[in-house]
Amino acid sequence: MTTDIAVAGEYSPHQREILLETVAKGCSPEQFMLMLELAKRYKLDPFARQIWATPAGIFVGRDGFLMLAHRSGDFDGMETTFEERNGKLFSATCTVWHKKMNHPFRVTVRLEEFFRPTPPGKKPGAWEKMPYVMLQKCAESHALRRAFCITGLYDEAEFEPTEYEPTTTTATINGEPAEVMRPPGKCSRCGKHDPMVPAYREKYQAAFEQAGLTLPGGICDECANELWRQDHGKGS
């Protein structure tokens, strides 16, 4: 399915249908077109999931940013180091060297800004099992974007949980129980899944408001996508 023509941004109607049902599911036509334009501009292949979109934003993985850096011909190396405090992971610092710059680009991110706890009753997620790997991805994505002027694209790992109500849970950081922050309760619509994290809700809210729709409070990602498809379809 993937071709040089598709990567260049020229897609058949059938290819567009496939993308809308896979890497751009639940997106508005405007978001979908923006994803295609960014894919064309940065020569990324959505069929290989080098770029994808949700109502929350348009994303590229850390390895995608690294590919863009290599492709520029000006990438001159990258190094990521970690800082621990009291024997626990505290921050990650990524340094990127650009051949045409006299000074390197350096970005530091802290664990507490990005750590995303797993809701009680569920298996530990990536942030709890691999905090160093996840924080490294955030630091490197930030630094690579800054060094090579990549705009409009983010790594999903960078979305930080904000505006939570603090509650003590069974989640752990660095192998020890910790007070983490999470949205209370289950989805207000289906009652099955956890509500979307505020960082995602903020993006969904903007998309809904732009389309003249209302995003109910306390709903999960699945319900938000379903409502978007239903309501946006009626208004189109």
pLDDT tens readout for residues 183-232 = 445 676 776 777 776 666 777 777 777 776 777 777 787 888 888 777 66
At residue 72, the pLDDT reads 94
Question: 99 vs 73, 102, 105, 140, 192, CA distance in Å?
Answer: 8, 8, 11, 17, 51
pLDDT at 100: 96
Percent of the chain topping pLDDT 70: 78
pLDDT score, position 167: 37
Mean pLDDT of 163-178: 44
Of 190, 179, 195, 126, give the one whose Cα is nearest residue 156: 126
Domain boundaries, the chain: 1-54, 57-181, 198-235
Amino acid at the residue 5: I
DSSP state of 223: H
Residue 70 has pLDDT above 90, yes or no: yes
Give the pTM.
0.63
Cβ within 8 Å of residue 129, ≥6 positions away: none
* Interval 96-135: pLDDT, tens: 999 999 999 999 999 988 887 777 777 888 888 999 999 9
Q: 66 Cβ partners below 8 Å, 6+ apart?
A: 78, 140, 144
> Residue 96's pLDDT is what?
97
5-55 residue pLDDT tens: 344 457 888 999 999 889 998 888 888 888 999 999 899 999 988 899 887
Q: What is the mean pLDDT of the chain?
A: 79
Cα–Cα distances in Å, from 123 out to 119, 150, 191, 200? 9, 35, 19, 21
Compute the distance between CA of residue 113 and CA of residue 124 in angstroms, rounded to an integer.
19
Mean pLDDT of 158-183: 45
